[in-house]
Amino acid sequence: MGTRTRGFANNISSPSGVFDATDLNGVVPATNLANSSLTNITDVSPSLGFSITSVASDPPAPSEGQMWYNTTSNTLKGYLNVASNSWASGGNMATGRRDLAGFGTQTASVGTAGYGASSYVTSTELYNGTSWTAGTAFPAAVASMGSTGTDTAGLVFGGFNPTPLDQTTKYNGSTWTVNPTSMGSARYDAGGAGTQTAALAYGGGSGGPNALVESFNGSTWSPATSMSTNRRAPASIGTQTAALAAGGKFSPSPTDNTASSEEWNGSSWTVGGSLPTPNVLMGSAGTQTDGLVFGGVNPPVGALARTDLYNGTSWTNVGTMATARDRLGSGQNASPTNAAIGFAGTSTSTATEEWTGTALATRTITGS
């Protein structure tokens, strides 16, 4: 690159007060100049975005929007939201119902109790990814329970008939057992997160929506820090130490539904991203930083078919169910966001829908 000269003004003219001329000169050593690189840069403005770097192999954990040039395959690549998401029909349940308890995965789900065409039902049905079969009946006629867990280690708590209940019931894959210790507060439509031996119950109804939170250790319930907002029937997402309460009804009024969310870290609640629209009585899946909600209701709009994905900061609409419905069962915390399941619901439906989602993926960028 060669040498570069530098000059400095030496005198200030009067009366204008400006430098008069370049009086001092010098030479910048060639060793201070580089032809092809910059060194010792400590910060780049976020407005510049990601740089396109050359790498021999794809990054193992890229961020959304990141781009790079793979020198091995000689291709330009990026980590993009490809939105390859869809709902497909699954096998129908034998008994139509709403306000049922649901837990498990897309290929191993349990749906139990709830409200049928004209009365409470106690039947349990098991889903294997294709069809539903009969299981052991739930030990009580009840609806609007909180639930969490897997098809071989499920937990059902609270509920309604004809008043709020405080009972807790466990499922081992074949039989139900009533837990000797009840919840500290009777409630229905509570959110639930975690497992059979490490669960969290939050919100629900007991004369009106509440913000109460209880933690379950597999045998007893203990009070925990309350949410900042009353929520009946919020989305149930996450674990006992990393839960997400999204949406819900915050007052007895039919139209008082919220879009807000709160995140639990095991000891306290903080504000999370708001849903695109107020929602209550929806299905859910995933974790606190990768959550999915679907269906639900927002009076006076009525039942919803929308599907919204949470990345730990904000929600994005990613699809639509074939049938708008609320009060449905879902795999909840055991189901990942790329393989969720929703079943039964509004007007005592028997329908099952299976979600397949691939929101983010590495893609080769071409000219087509």
DSSP state of 115: B
Of residues 368, 292, 364, 358, the one with CA closest to residue 82: 358
Per-residue pLDDT at 44: 46
pLDDT value for 65: 76
Are 100 and 123 a contacting pair, CB within 8 Å?
A: no
Query: Which pLDDT does position 67 carry in this prediction?
Result: 87
Instruction: State residue 270 phi and psi, 5-degree precision.
Output: -130, 160
On whether the CB atoms of residues 329 and 283 are closer than 8 A, the answer is yes
Helix (H, G, I), strand (E, B) or coil at 347: helix
Residue-by-residue DSSP string for 234-275:
-EEEE-SSSEEEE--B-SSSTT-B---EEEE-SS-EEE-PPP
Number of H helices, E strands in the chain: 0, 28
- Kindly list the domain boundaries of the chain, sorted by start residue: 1-42, 87-355
CA end-to-end distance (rounded Å), the chain: 40
Q: What is the pTM of this model?
A: 0.77
Do residues 284 and 237 lie in contact, with contact meaning Cβ atoms separated by under 8 Å? yes
Q: What confidence score (pLDDT) does residue 48 get?
A: 46
Task: Report DSSP letters for 203-222, one per residue.
Answer: --BSSSB---EEEE-SS-EE
Mind listing the pLDDT tens digit of every residue in the chain (368 residues)? 555 555 555 555 555 555 555 555 556 565 655 555 445 545 545 444 456 889 998 887 777 778 888 899 888 887 765 556 899 999 999 999 999 999 999 999 999 999 999 999 999 999 999 999 999 999 999 999 999 999 999 999 999 999 999 999 999 999 999 999 999 999 999 999 999 999 999 999 999 999 999 999 999 999 999 999 999 999 999 999 999 999 999 999 989 999 999 999 999 999 999 999 999 999 999 999 999 999 999 988 899 999 999 999 999 999 999 999 999 999 999 999 999 999 999 989 999 999 998 755 566 777 65
55-60 long-range Cβ contacts below 8 angstroms, 24+ apart = 58/362
The answer to whether 112 touches 120, Cβ cutoff 8 Å, is no
Contacts for 304-310 with beta carbons within 8 Å, 24 or more apart? 304/277, 304/279, 306/276, 306/277, 307/85, 307/87, 307/355, 308/275, 308/276, 309/337, 309/357, 309/359, 310/237, 310/244, 310/246, 310/261, 310/272, 310/273, 310/286
Max alpha carbon distance in the chain (Å)? 100
Question: Which residue has tokens 């969290």?
Answer: 200
Residue 303 confidence (pLDDT): 96
Tokens standing for 166? Answer: 């405080």
pLDDT of res. 256? 95
Residue type, 147: S
Domain 87-355 has CATH 2.120.10.80: yes
Tell me, what's the pLDDT at 74? Answer: 86
The single residue listed with the structure tokens 């929007």 is 65
